[in-house]
Amino acid sequence: MVFRFLHSIFTAAPIQPGKFDKDLMLRGIERVVDGTDVRLRAVSHYRRKLWEPVEHAIDFVVTFVNTLPPAIVADQQGYMADPRLRALFASPDSLREVLSFSDGTRNYLKQAPDPLPVELFAGLGAVRVEKNVLGIEMEGEILRRDVPQTVVNFRDHRLAFLTDNEQDTRRELMRRAADYLIETALQRLTASRVQKTQLEQQQRKLLLQKANLLKKAQVGLASLVEPATMEPVDLSALEQQLQELETELGQLRTDSATLDQHLAKVAATLSEPEKYLKLEPVSLTLDHINTKVPHDSPRVANSMTFQEIVMGEDRRVTALFVRFPSNQLLPQPDFFKEANRLLYSTR
């Protein structure tokens, strides 16, 4: 099975923005075709037509990921030293629990070497929620009540892209960001208005099935904002399903004009990646209970800046890279043993 979409186009060498070598570009183009509609290979000079859009998309992704600041130490000492961690987590224990029991950690440990690397690196995502409340505030020696305040909370913490070095974690995020753009191109294809012929309906159905399979595999950025599937994904079975879909798609008769339109739509999506994926800085000044504080306030507070990944129009996640000692991970729960304990304790 050689379905290339499930493998990274980025090599082990450091990736920097700029002109990319021919091998990377060809892998990127074939990945785009595999991830959208394999029949695009029937378009005359499809590689030449996709070269510039793919190069622009890769350059965008590399710059996007390299804009994120260096990994911060996410242990108890790091928690006390970095106000961003104190804003993200209620306590060092809650930080340790997220590091230990996230879906990304659980999946990494299933295939991790023994012994574990001394230090682990990962991408951390959380959803920022702001709520307007009425609180209390000291003004000199006067206690004021029912003061309008804004409280910032972070929820749905996700840990993903665990590796034993920061560059590999960054490369994994590059891959996921590139795949997200390819998913977006596929979604735009499936959303296109087409004539209601039986052939076109069948084509649309197959493309939607493909998009759903890729979503299930979480090949894009979903692992930063969504929980992992309850059932582990069998990649070999997924590849088989995708290959069968590609075979069925390849057997559909489509005129060259339609394929040219498909390729043009894919190229247009990749030529404007900033429309679908953004990195926005969010500056906050918060007190010890995550209440927003004006910059000129005498209250004790910390100012900090987070980077938020914005996907489409309405999905955003606060993201940063973290590093932590592997010996800080808590033991993984044995659910079978716990179920037996509960079963026999009720008898």
Residues 230 and 187 in one domain: yes
Same domain flag for 21 and 103: no
- Which residues have C-beta within 8 Å of that of residue 26, sequence separation ≥ 6? 47
Looking at the structure, do residues 315 and 173 belong to the same domain, yes or no?
no
Q: Which stretch of DSSP H or E encloses residue 262?
A: helix 256-271
Inter-residue contact 243 to 38 (CB < 8 Å): no
pLDDT mean over 169-175: 93
Distance CA(158)–CA(225), nearest Å, equals: 7
pLDDT bin (cut points 50, 70, 90) of residue 6 is very low
The Cα 285–Cα 321 span in angstroms is 21
pLDDT at residue 4 is higher than 60: no
* 13 assigned to some structural domain: yes
Q: Are residues 56 and 170 in the same domain?
A: yes
- Alpha carbon separation from 21 to 18, 28, 215 (Å, rounded): 10, 11, 30
User: Does pLDDT of 289 surpass 80?
Assistant: yes
On whether both 264 and 180 belong to a single domain, the answer is yes
Give yes or no: residues 233 and 283 share one domain: no
Q: At 274, list the tokens.
A: 């900033």
Query: Which of 22-31, 68-77, 157-166 is predicted least confidently?
Result: 22-31
Q: 221 and 98 in one domain?
A: no
Total count of domains within the chain: 2
Q: How confident is the model at residue 89 (pLDDT cuts 50, 70, 90)?
A: very high
List Cβ neighbours of 169 (8 Å cut-off, separation of 6 or more): 71, 121, 122, 123, 161, 162, 163, 321
In this prediction, residue 184 carries a pLDDT of 94
- Encoded amino acid at 100, one letter: S
Mean pLDDT for 217-222 is: 60
User: Which residue type, as a one-letter code, is found at position 199?
Assistant: L
Average the pLDDT over 22-45 and give the result.
Answer: 91
Residue 203: inside a domain, yes or no?
yes
Containing domain of residue 147, as a range? 82-110+122-159+278-329
Asked which of 27-36, 105-114, 294-303 is least confident by mean pLDDT, the reply is 294-303
Domain boundary pick from 256, 275, 294: 275
Regarding whether 240 and 288 lie in a shared domain, the answer is no
For residues 139-146, give the mean pLDDT: 77
Residue 215 confidence (pLDDT) above 80: no
Confidence check: pLDDT of 239 > 80 = no
**pLDDT for position 37:** 87
